[in-house]
Amino acid sequence: MCGIVGYIGNRKANEVLIPSLKRLEYRGYDSAGIALANNTTCQIIKSVGKIINLEKKLNKKDLDSYHLGIAHTRWATHGAVTEVNAHPQQYGKITIVHNGIIENVDNIKEKLQRENIKFKSETDTEVIAVLLNKYLESNFIKTINKVMNLLKGSFALGIINQDEANKLYIVKKSSPVVIGVGDNENFFASDISAINYFTNKFIFLDDNEIAEITQEKIVVYNGCNIISKNVNTINTDINDYDKKGYPHFMLKEINEQPQILKNTLTKYLNDIKLLPDLTSYQELHIVACGSAMYAGMIGKQLFEQQAHIKTYVEVASEYRYQEQLYNEKTLVIVISQSGETADTIAALRKAKKQKQDTLAIVNVKNSTIARDADNCLYTEAFEEIAVATTKAYTLQVALLSLLSLKLAYDKGYITDLDKYLKDFRQLPNYLKKVIAQDQKYQEIAKVIYKSKDVFFIGRKIDYAICLEGSLKLKEISYIHSEAYQAGELKHGTISLIDKGTPVFAIITDQSIADKTMSNLIETTSRGANGYLITTESLKTGFAQEIIVKDATNFVQPLLVIPILQLIAYYTACLKKCDVDKPKNLAKSVTVE
Ligand code: F6R
């Protein structure tokens, strides 16, 4: 989703803004732009497509005299992908970049049009610029407050007011923005990773706060009152954005999984007490979006079967609006790679408002969800660049699995803890072997990449794994794919099975192995091209069978996941898709 950055200091502003903007590319975008200001002018340069297109335009200009600027990557919401709709948007003396969505834009725009104001773009952002210009007064903080009160929705804004061209203003409401504090220079950005190679000191704005930033000073307001904010020193990993010889980040990230599993899990395997004690809870609500929610579905199976605790999994975008029946013994677990997903943040805030205990499983350190939850476990997968999650998802599953093991042990359902911990210790090696069978997955991709539809079937925990396998395939290869509880197929979907339709059955759970196998045979009897992914002890001799090592219930699902990731990856490559940046998708979904 949109990314914003800003700079004020002695350096050439474009030389800070463009590299910073590039560090936000992973979020997904379709156009980019920059505004550079000095006392006399504010130049705006924009282009559609990748940042490199913008750079080509910048290279033709002499921009050495600009030491203040704002820049933006746009993921279109209001209006098509055009240069006019790209940010910065300018009206009168105001130039702004915006991440978020203004929900009452139509109303406001209509009123302004009645006042004969002509809009150049189709964006909601231009409306904000018009309002700021309309209500402009010498106390710009007052102006901003007035406009904020008129806007409904979410916004992180970076603003240049030409009357005060030695300042940047930023505003935050429900969209992320962080200030980077430098030495005689200051920065802002949608996330730390865009500016952490300039500074390790950050100020996190809370909702409804405004910052006035000069080269020397940062003043933060709530309403018109100055408030004091902590400056946090945070040493983060600086991603080198190097594919390390892999053709895509996604393949690199899939291959990183054994190592990062080891890095993340070792401390818990050495001392499981480092994981939170969940014994006081009677039920769990796992809330997340997309793959993170599918990780939660695996967690549900393990929590219920192994630790006998009722677990509900809900999509955050629904959870936030539905009546929730909590009791004081409900723990709400939110899961998010980015820690900035708007719906998941809203669900977390709802749970907190209702005074529920909250635990977050997050990858990005110091992200909004990591900061807001009562307790946070980090997946520590380092930065994930490919839009489709792989390593962060795997770590989410692994942490949920370990949490369920600990709870099962604490509640006395499991006594031989060491046996299970040993299996987790072996997990990185098991995974290396799964990933090493790369050739097999490439062969499968060669068969399925021309298919119209692909189905994944499984029951219980295997169904939860299927959901992620299906999402991975469709999001990067654009092949229509669905995951079904194997028993449901007969109730409608089996009519879609034609000669050659690929059907992947996942069978790792012995209790339903025969049932799912029968369902697979039902499809192959109707011409489907069936694949069975199963374990050594459950193998059947099925013609197209991928076998993974037997492992404990806690580790077993983790062995299947890379197979599905790699099949999706090679299929997308054969289809010549933009694997790391699938069309229409954003890495960090910061709007509803
Ligand atoms: C799919 C994918 C998405 C995310 C979802 C939640 O590959 O990456 O489905 O899982 O958008 O994002 P986070 O985990 O950042 O909250």
Q: Are 88 and 35 in contact (CB under 8 A)?
A: yes
Atom of ligand 1 nearest to the CA of 291: 10
Q: How far is the centre of ligand 1, averaged over its atoms, from the C-alpha of 419 (Å)? A: 33
| All structural domains of the chain with their residue ranges | 3-236, 244-435, 437-579
Per-residue confidence band for 416, with pLDDT thresholds at 50, 70 and 90: very high
- For ligand 1, is residue 337 a contact (CB within 6 Å)? yes
Q: What percent of the chain has pLDDT over 70?
A: 99
227-231, 363-367, 587-591: segment of lowest average pLDDT: 587-591
The CA distance from 316 to 335, in Å, is 10
Q: How far is the centre of ligand 1, averaged over its atoms, from the C-alpha of 92 (Å)? A: 39
Amino acid identity at 536: E
Nearest to 434 by CA among 330, 535, 314: 535
Q: Is residue 350 within a helix (H) or strand (E), and if so which, with residue range? A: helix 342-353
Q: What percent of the chain has pLDDT over 90?
A: 88
Q: DSSP readout, 204-242? A: EPPTTEEEEE-SS-EEEEETTEEE--PPEE---------
The arithmetic mean of pLDDT across residues 389-408, rounded, is: 98
If one looks up domain 244-435 in CATH, what number appears? Answer: 3.40.50.10490
At 366 the pLDDT is 87
Place of tokens 């077993």: 556
Q: What six digits make up the tokens of 60?
A: 């033709």
Nearest to 561 by CA among 392, 338, 350: 392
Q: How far is the centre of ligand 1, averaged over its atoms, from the C-alpha of 289 (Å)? A: 6
Q: Are 572 and 442 in contact (CB under 8 A)?
A: no
- For ligand 1, is residue 292 a contact (CB within 6 Å)? yes
At 239 the pLDDT is 66
Q: Are 397 and 558 in contact (CB under 8 A)?
A: yes
Report the alpha-carbon angle 3-6-10, nearest 5. 150
Q: How far is the centre of ligand 1, averaged over its atoms, from the C-alpha of 592 (Å)? A: 13
The CA distance from 18 to 198, in Å, is 13
Place of tokens 């100020």: 203
Which of 27, 249, 291 has most ligand 1 atoms within 8 Å of its beta carbon, as the pocket-test mutant?
A: 291
Nearest CA to ligand 1 atom 11: 290
Nearest CA to ligand 1 atom 7: 388
- What residues have CB less than 8 Å from 132, skipping those under 6 apart? 91, 94, 96, 143, 144, 147, 159, 161
Q: How far is the centre of ligand 1, averaged over its atoms, from the C-alpha of 416 (Å)? A: 35
- For ligand 1, is residue 73 a contact (CB within 6 Å)? no
Q: What six digits make up the tokens of 273?
A: 């007490």
Q: Are 121 and 134 in contact (CB under 8 A)?
A: no
Q: What six digits make up the tokens of 278?
A: 């969940």
What does the pLDDT look like over 541-561, one tens digit per residue?
999 999 999 999 999 999 999
Q: How far is the centre of ligand 1, averaged over its atoms, from the C-alpha of 345 (Å)? A: 13
The CA distance from 554 to 572, in Å, is 30
Nearest to 364 by CA among 351, 382, 348: 382
Which of 26, 289, 363 has most ligand 1 atoms within 8 Å of its beta carbon, as the pocket-test mutant?
A: 289
CA 150, chain centre distance (Å) = 29
What does the pLDDT look like over 441-450, one tens digit per residue?
999 999 999 9
If one looks up domain 3-236 in CATH, what number appears? Answer: 3.60.20.10
What does the pLDDT look like over 185-244, one tens digit per residue?
999 999 888 999 999 999 999 999 999 999 999 999 999 999 999 999 988 766 667 888
The arithmetic mean of pLDDT across residues 292-315, rounded, is: 98
Atom of ligand 1 nearest to the CA of 588: 15
Q: Are 316 and 288 in contact (CB under 8 A)?
A: yes
3-class DSSP state of 289: coil
Largest CA distance in the chain: 79
- What residues have CB less than 8 Å from 15, skipping those under 6 apart? none
Res 588 pLDDT > 90: no
**Catalytic annotation present for 581:** no
The CA distance from 522 to 490, in Å, is 9
Q: Angle formed by the axes of helices 290-307 and 391-410, to 10°?
A: 20
Where residue 9 falls (left for φ over 0; alpha for ψ -120 to 50; beta otherwise) is left
Q: Which of the following is catalytic: 2, 376, 573, 577? A: 2
**Dihedral of alpha carbons 534, 537, 538, 539, sign:** positive
CATH of 437-579, one of 3.10.580.10, 3.40.50.10490, 3.40.1390.40, 3.90.1150.10: 3.40.50.10490
Q: How far is the centre of ligand 1, averaged over its atoms, from the C-alpha of 393 (Å)? A: 8
3-class DSSP state of 514: helix
- For ligand 1, is residue 336 a contact (CB within 6 Å)? yes
Res 456 pLDDT > 80: yes
Q: How far is the centre of ligand 1, averaged over its atoms, from the C-alpha of 336 (Å)? A: 7
Mean pLDDT, rounded, of the chain:
95
Which of 345, 364, 589 has most ligand 1 atoms within 8 Å of its beta carbon, as the pocket-test mutant?
A: 589
Q: DSSP readout, 406-447? A: HHHHHTTS---HHHHHHHHHHHHHHHHHHHHTHHHHHHHHHH
Res 1 pLDDT > 80: no
Beta bridge partners of 357: 331
Atom of ligand 1 nearest to the CA of 294: 10
Exposure of 201 by Cβ count < 10 A (0-12 exposed, 13-18 middle, 19+ buried)?
middle
Residue 61: how many other CB atoms lie within 10 Å:
12
Res 403 pLDDT > 90: yes
Nearest to 309 by CA among 382, 435, 409, 228: 409
- For ligand 1, is residue 396 a contact (CB within 6 Å)? no
At 42 the pLDDT is 94
Exposure of 84 by Cβ count < 10 A (0-12 exposed, 13-18 middle, 19+ buried)?
middle
- For ligand 1, is residue 475 a contact (CB within 6 Å)? yes
3-class DSSP state of 370: helix
Atom of ligand 1 nearest to the CA of 388: 7
Report the alpha-carbon angle 49-52-56, nearest 5. 110
The CA distance from 283 to 275, in Å, is 18
The arithmetic mean of pLDDT across residues 572-578, rounded, is: 97
Q: Which of the following is catalytic: 350, 474, 581, 587? A: 587
The CA distance from 86 to 68, in Å, is 20
- For ligand 1, is residue 289 a contact (CB within 6 Å)? yes
Atom of ligand 1 nearest to the CA of 344: 16
Can you give the C-alpha Rg of the chain in angstroms?
Answer: 25
The arithmetic mean of pLDDT across residues 290-298, rounded, is: 98
Atom of ligand 1 nearest to the CA of 396: 14
The CA distance from 415 to 439, in Å, is 40
At 251 the pLDDT is 97
The answer to whether the 244-435 and 437-579 domains have the same CATH topology is yes
Q: How far is the centre of ligand 1, averaged over its atoms, from the C-alpha of 288 (Å)? A: 8
At 242 the pLDDT is 81
Nearest CA to ligand 1 atom 6: 289
The arithmetic mean of pLDDT across residues 389-401, rounded, is: 98
Q: How far is the centre of ligand 1, averaged over its atoms, from the C-alpha of 291 (Å)? A: 5
- For ligand 1, is residue 589 a contact (CB within 6 Å)? yes
Nearest to 179 by CA among 221, 146, 137: 221
- For ligand 1, is residue 301 a contact (CB within 6 Å)? no
Atom of ligand 1 nearest to the CA of 341: 16
Greater model confidence, 581 or 294: 294
pTM comes to 0.87
What does the pLDDT look like over 157-172, one tens digit per residue?
999 999 999 999 999 9
3-class DSSP state of 481: strand
**Catalytic annotation present for 2:** yes
Nearest CA to ligand 1 atom 3: 290
Full 3-state SS string of 250-263:
HHHHHHHHHHHHHH
- For ligand 1, is residue 291 a contact (CB within 6 Å)? yes
The CA distance from 467 to 486, in Å, is 12
The CA distance from 557 to 551, in Å, is 9
- For ligand 1, is residue 344 a contact (CB within 6 Å)? yes
Greater model confidence, 145 or 27: 145
Residue 216: how many other CB atoms lie within 10 Å:
11
Q: Is residue 149 within a helix (H) or strand (E), and if so which, with residue range? A: helix 140-150
The arithmetic mean of pLDDT across residues 376-394, rounded, is: 94
Number of alpha carbons in the 13 Å side-chain half-sphere of residue 83: 7
